[in-house]
Amino acid sequence: MRSEQQPAFTARYETGLVALMFFVWGVVFLDRMSQLYLMPYIARDLALTDKEVGALTSATAVSWAVASLLFGALSDRVGRKLVLVPLTIVFSLLSGLSGLAGGFGELLCVRAAMGAAEGPCWSVLNALVEQSSSPSRRGRNVGIVVSAGALIGLAVAPVLTTQIAARVGWRLAFLVAGAPGLVLAGLMARYVREPQRPAPTAAGEAMAPGALRTLRQRNVWLCAIAAAGFMSWLFVQNAFAPLYMTRVEHLDPRTAGLLLGAAGLGSFVLGILAPALSDRFGRPAVLAATGLLSTLLPLAILIHGLYAHLWLLALILFATQGGQAIAALAIVLIPAESVPAGAVGAAIGLVTLVGEVIGGTAAPLAAGWLADARGLAMPLWVAAGASLVVFLAALPMRSAKEAV
């Protein structure tokens, strides 16, 4: 479906762009996930119920979802840079503002507004990287950028934020999480170049809105199903695993942060390795394998005996956290390669929208209800089932060459 022409950028610029977008996405995901890792402190300080914990996660996801589609489609028309730079400034300021919240309602409003600024960054920066990459390095480049969410958001964030919160409080931790985005916005404004927008390749393509064109592609909807499973797995697991570890297994929040940091480091490794392998072995096959592997992570957290051997639990979490690989394949590469180049932002945004509404919004709310009714183990069983959805959705997907 996609033209395989070489982008009109040098290899040096391509490498620099990947490095810059790596840090941008890392900071975006750091800001989003910091709330989950700080939740043992926030819930105690603000007297939150498990339902309110789920509602905070869902509020961010709803605004993230809608904004990702709208601004992703807008960036197809007006350009990536014009959308990306201002929103990076906005979400960085809102991250710091989270630390000033005096109660559940205030925090809910701030996190919802932050999701509206962060969601477009995901779809727009990945469209920018995908379109600025050589075809032979597309999977590798997207994998590197998306894996920053694992290294910074899943490995560094739980350790950094919980250590800061333990020493000076969770409010300052939010301020630290948001500050780097302002620096990165300045770098993007100076160095990022706009990829060439393609001319229409088929009759009527110029008249069809990008979001509508994506509806014709089977892979896009299969990716939307996979994204719903993936985001359910990701947000339910990360919202409730720290609570399960601290309340049920009675770990110190800093120890729980270290365990989740080990999982994040593993996601960083798989996030680079799996998309690179998909350049050679095909996107759907690698996605199916990664989804199946990731099912083991929430199940490991539920095994009581592993808490007597924390090093072994950390190793299992490291080896089974395929989240960023799934994101790169199911939300970026496969949908982007299944639509015309002028609809890439809309395709990524549409898949993100479905995933966030179901996996980022409905799933945490349902998991919070189950946790209140049946205990904190139930959300982790939900997460395990959600990862199996990724595996099943990948099986009927077609490769990019077959997706037309």
Summarised one tens digit per residue, pLDDT across range 296-315 is: 999 999 999 999 999 999 99
What confidence score (pLDDT) does residue 198 get?
Answer: 55
From the centroid of its chain, how far is CA 324? 7
Domain range 11-192+210-397, its CATH number among 2.40.50.100, 3.40.640.10, 3.40.50.10860, 1.20.1250.20: 1.20.1250.20
> Among the residues of 302-362, which ranges form H helices?
310-320, 323-326, 334-337, 344-355
Q: Which of 387, 399, 66, 86 is nearest to 227 (CA)?
A: 387
Summarised one tens digit per residue, pLDDT across range 60-108 is: 878 888 888 888 888 888 888 889 999 999 988 888 888 888 888 888 9
Q: Which of 295, 296, 297, 307 is nearest to 248 (CA)?
A: 307
Q: With a threshold of 0.85, does the pTM exceed it?
A: no
The confidence band for 2, taking pLDDT boundaries of 50, 70 and 90, is low
Residue 68 sits at φ, ψ, to 5 deg, of: -60, -45
DSSP 136: G
Contact present, 89 and 181 (Cβ < 8 Å): yes
**What are the structural domain ranges in the chain?**
11-192+210-397
The confidence band for 338, taking pLDDT boundaries of 50, 70 and 90, is confident
The confidence band for 211, taking pLDDT boundaries of 50, 70 and 90, is low
Q: Which of 220, 24, 270, 198 is nearest to 124 (CA)?
A: 24
What confidence score (pLDDT) does residue 242 get?
Answer: 87
The confidence band for 9, taking pLDDT boundaries of 50, 70 and 90, is low
The confidence band for 206, taking pLDDT boundaries of 50, 70 and 90, is very low
Choose the most confident range, by mean pLDDT, from 204-213, 227-236, 260-269, 364-373. Answer: 227-236
Q: Would you state the structure tokens that stand for residue 96, as one six-digit string?
A: 């710091």
Q: What gap in Å lies between CA 43 and CA 49, rounded to an integer?
A: 7
Summarised one tens digit per residue, pLDDT across range 349-390 is: 889 888 888 987 788 888 888 988 889 999 999 999 999 999
Q: What gap in Å lies between CA 51 and CA 61, rounded to an integer?
A: 15
Q: What gap in Å lies between CA 403 and CA 401, rounded to an integer?
A: 6
